[in-house]
Structure 1
């Protein structure tokens, strides 16, 4: 099926000609191309659809609900805010719960929301002292055997682990054999331990600066290693809470536009009223835009990719021309996906923004899944 998506690209109104969900050409659609095609005139600025590799929930639903109904609610909620591809992200939990989540996903014939590229396993292979909101009783040392069992249950695309734990190196090797991307996080790793893990094939850092030691001029740890390492990418949560804008600006200045990817770390409270909710087996409080445990520990966020982009631009963390990379292309490249760019041969995943930066259209595979 052919579609024509019209909007402003690099300051000029152009047509994105789409065939069966993939971009065929960018330019002015000819008479033959328009015949029988579905035209979507966004009257907005077209960007690649946002790619979020770290999503726990949204719209009142949680990934750990382990149901297709919850999965679709999450995907539809984030699609309203410009996300066209995402990874469902787990928390540390009993094996039977994780297996239930991973095995619950089925590719449906009819889907209304962001594309689901698989799962991000964020636990249980994390350090107890850097666990954040993950329940300590469900943490365990990294294990290639356990990881293989999880992988047999469902499509794990990204694994977060603490490389300094016993079994860390062997599990990184196993993950790479299973074609997973390995991200270092929730970790007390030293600089040398982190660098060793990157040498073994780890490629990214999970929510940089959070759940790891901060920068110290004599005792550099994972954050310093991730910034120092030119062949890694880093996640940033730009909600104004997790990372101060000044520190975020430093990270982007050091890593450059091609090595930073925005993530939300969003939990079920996205698009929900403030109040008390459940997450990772415990209570959380959503108040004043922040999501915390009763003891004050941050427990994910209420962030959307739409707002992350707006926050980054407002605070000068990156420039408007950097948005396609930090919000889409870098994450897509990390996962080996042909999306995140408006270019022939790439998935027709697009977002249209108003002059004020608000999402007006979200288009997944050439099909409008959200219109403001």
Structure 2
């Protein structure tokens, strides 16, 4: 049982929350100590690594990543791949499969895979390697899906026959996200009309907004219900973030975290790429941004510093990503939901985290 200021689906209450693996009941108690803030655990739908481990390494790397992010309040996540050779992608998916099927102790629940590559535009690669970009086919995606469940898939929808694949991918239960795209505004609108569900790291890796050529960013701002954004205050200028927050009802935050997350400055791996952590960000040798070292608790603080009310910031890191995936028993504190809980002090620093009722050891933070 926990006591504090609790964010419920109906708003804030001072009270207590009782749980085992699931939340049993929440009771209002005006006398409850309001020094602690109790929020739904964070849900990160775009995370590549942490603590020196990269999802693309396969094996137990996904477990290391899920344990590291759990210590920062992430209670559920999608293991996210990079553009790579077919064998490398299959190794990563095989490595994730066991941790998806059964949650390891002390780790966030890995809900499935975000397949960020290889079906991208060679003109908008960002940190993705050009030599492994591929054209998507439904048979290839099905073969990957058979290894580990793909919940989200980034697609440059203007490439080849990618647009025609969207309804088939949607029928498989995969959320198609427009990203790493050199498409036009009309391409973005066509993809949404075909069933695309969102946008991958909005503003980054896509055609920019221009008043004559609105681009993929314009399509998102004009038409999207959901899009992910990296709120590390380095990938996107605060002014652009504010514009997106006004335009996209369910804009949600992701970390795009790399193996350098939680590590000292130095050289790390991002798939086959070498990246360099310095001054709180990660870059290729060329100087281009290459993922982040963001954690979800810092994302919450950044949203609040940007001017969001705490409840709104929480929704953008818990409720909205849960709803985007159709996870109705996560991302909210309500009786019957999974007991995925983060407890914060007055500075919005985690003092306790529970994943499906299991208390996470925060001592390695």
TM range, normalised to the smaller chain?
over 0.9
Distance 1:367 1:221, change over 3 A: same
Distance apart, 1:173 and its partner CA: 2.1
| TM-superposition CA deviations, 1:40-97 (whole Å, max 9, x none) | x9962000100000000001100011012x1121111111111110000000111111
Residue 134 (1) aligns with residue 124 (2): no
Hey, what does 1:196 align to over in structure 2? 190
Hey, what does 1:103 align to over in structure 2? 94
CA contact (8 A) 2:120 2:179 kept: yes
- Aligned to 2:26, the other structure's residue is in SS state strand
Hey, what does 1:54 align to over in structure 2? 46
Distance apart, 1:174 and its partner CA: 2.2
Residue 323 (1) aligns with residue 316 (2): no
- Given candidates 84, 91, 110, the residue that maps to 1:93 is 84
Hey, what does 2:350 align to over in structure 1? 359
Distance apart, 1:178 and its partner CA: 1.3
Hey, what does 1:252 align to over in structure 2? 245
CA contact (8 A) 2:59 2:94 kept: no
Distance apart, 1:143 and its partner CA: 1.4
5+ unaligned residues in a row in structure 2: which ranges? none
For residues 330 and 25 of structure 1, what CA distance do their matches in structure 2 show? 22
Hey, what does 1:147 align to over in structure 2? 141
Residue 6 (1) aligns with residue 3 (2): yes
For residues 226 and 133 of structure 2, what CA distance do their matches in structure 1 show? 25
- Aligned to 2:204, the other structure's residue is in SS state coil
Distance 1:110 1:129, change over 3 A: closer
Distance apart, 1:99 and its partner CA: 1.0
5+ unaligned residues in a row in structure 1: which ranges? 30-40
| TM-superposition CA deviations, 1:128-170 (whole Å, max 9, x none) | 0101111101001221121111111111111000000012123
Hey, what does 1:284 align to over in structure 2? 275
| TM-superposition CA deviations, 1:76-126 (whole Å, max 9, x none) | 111111111000000011111111111222134642111110110001000
- Aligned to 1:128, the other structure's residue is in SS state coil
Hey, what does 1:208 align to over in structure 2? 202
CA contact (8 A) 1:5 1:366 kept: no
Hey, what does 2:37 align to over in structure 1? 45
For residues 28 and 322 of structure 1, what CA distance do their matches in structure 2 show? 21
220-229 vs 201-210, which moves further: 220-229
Distance apart, 1:196 and its partner CA: 0.9
Residue 314 (1) aligns with residue 308 (2): no
For residues 154 and 205 of structure 2, what CA distance do their matches in structure 1 show? 12
- Aligned to 2:68, the other structure's residue is in SS state helix
For residues 260 and 171 of structure 1, what CA distance do their matches in structure 2 show? 25
Hey, what does 2:19 align to over in structure 1? 18
State the Cα RMSD in Å.
1.7
Hey, what does 2:173 align to over in structure 1? 179
Distance apart, 1:359 and its partner CA: 1.1
100-109 vs 205-214, which moves further: 100-109
For residues 277 and 125 of structure 1, what CA distance do their matches in structure 2 show? 24
For residues 369 and 171 of structure 1, what CA distance do their matches in structure 2 show? 40
